[in-house]
């Protein structure tokens, strides 16, 4: 697949989690990926976009979540960003089972899932300064 890049901007609505999954699958389809890579990428995207909506923006549908997808050689990079609340302690937030919203019945496994399904996950965030999650995966085959 030739190198390519697409950016999608979506409102912070839960239905756009589904849109983001489909957009990521559509983007990567040009690389003729194995099915497991597609499902891994969709799962990681779901977690990152849901976090931006729920935690970044407290589900305020006026706010924008951005997703940039990039193919570079055989690697796919997906960056999900928001200009929302930000994270005070990223290392703590990334720990399995840590959630700041137990009352929403979150399980605190989103970052753990992203790490499990992608080859690398970087998080840049600051309180009030929004959050940027950059994920990379080497496509099989």
Ligand X SMILES: Nc1ncnc2c1ncn2[C@@H]1O[C@H](COP(=O)(O)OP(=O)(O)OP(=O)(O)O)[C@@H](O)[C@H]1O
Site of interaction with Mg ion (CB under 5 A): 51, 110
Torsion on CA atoms 102, 108, 131, 127, rounded to nearest 10: 50
Catalytic residues: 47, 51, 106
Using CB distances below 5 to 8 A depending on partner kind, what does residue 117 bind out of ligand X, Mg ion, none? Answer: none
Q: State how far Cα 15 lies from the chain centre.
A: 15
If the CB atoms of residues 107 and 140 are measured against ligand X, the closer one turns out to be: 107
Q: State how far Cα 86 lies from the chain centre.
A: 15
Using CB distances below 5 to 8 A depending on partner kind, what does residue 101 bind out of ligand X, Mg ion, none? Answer: ligand X
Rg (CA), the chain: 14
If the CB atoms of residues 15 and 140 are measured against Mg ion, the closer one turns out to be: 15
Whole-number minimum distance, CB 9 to ligand X, in Å? 15
């Amino acid at each position: 697949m030739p190198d390519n890049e697409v950016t999608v901007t979506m409102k912070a609505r839960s239905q756009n989690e589904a849109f983001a999954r489909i957009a990521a699958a559509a983007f990567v389809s040009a690389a003729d990926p194995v099915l497991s890579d597609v499902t891994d990428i969709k799962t990681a995207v779901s977690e990152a976009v849901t976090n931006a909506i729920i935690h970044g923006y407290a589900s305020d549908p006026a706010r924008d979540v951005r997703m940039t997808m990039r193919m570079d050689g055989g690697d796919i990079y997906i960056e999900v960003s928001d200009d929302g609340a930000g994270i005070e302690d990223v290392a703590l937030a990334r720990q399995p089972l840590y959630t700041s919203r137990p009352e929403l019945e979150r399980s605190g496994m989103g970052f753990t899932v992203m790490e499990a399904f992608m080859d690398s996950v970087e998080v840049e965030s600051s309180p009030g300064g929004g959050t940027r999650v950059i994920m990379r995966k080497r496509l099989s085959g």
